[in-house]
Amino acid sequence: MKTLTIREAREGLSHPERMFAGDDEVLVVRHGEPVARILPAAPKPSLRTLRSFLADQPMQTVTSEVLLVEERQDRT
């Protein structure tokens, strides 16, 4: 964990990619007391393609017409 004073953090914010590169957590302190903790951003979750989503869906074995007929018969 990297520790910075408030002055170092303020001066380094113009180039955050250099300041926070390679560190998993940065602690900002004032007079030796922690005032902020900077954490890395969580990576974006990858989205599945429509093709892979549809491949995982269960196939309907009974046609819609049959389901509608059965539903109507249950009502009577």
**Does residue 6 have a pLDDT over 70?**
yes
Residues 40, 65: contact at Cβ < 8 Å?
no
Q: How many independent structural domains does the chain possess?
A: 1
Let me know if residue 62 belongs to a domain.
no
Q: Which domain holds residue 9?
A: 2-38
Q: What is the pLDDT of residues 10-69, one digit of tens each?
A: 887 788 777 777 768 888 999 999 999 988 887 888 888 999 999 999 988 899 999 999
What are the contacts of 3-9 at 24+ separation with CB within 8 A? Answer: 3/27, 3/28, 3/29, 4/28, 4/29, 5/29, 5/30, 6/30, 6/35, 9/36
Give me the pLDDT at residue 16, please. Answer: 77
Let me know if residue 18 belongs to a domain.
yes
What's the whole-model pTM score? 0.50
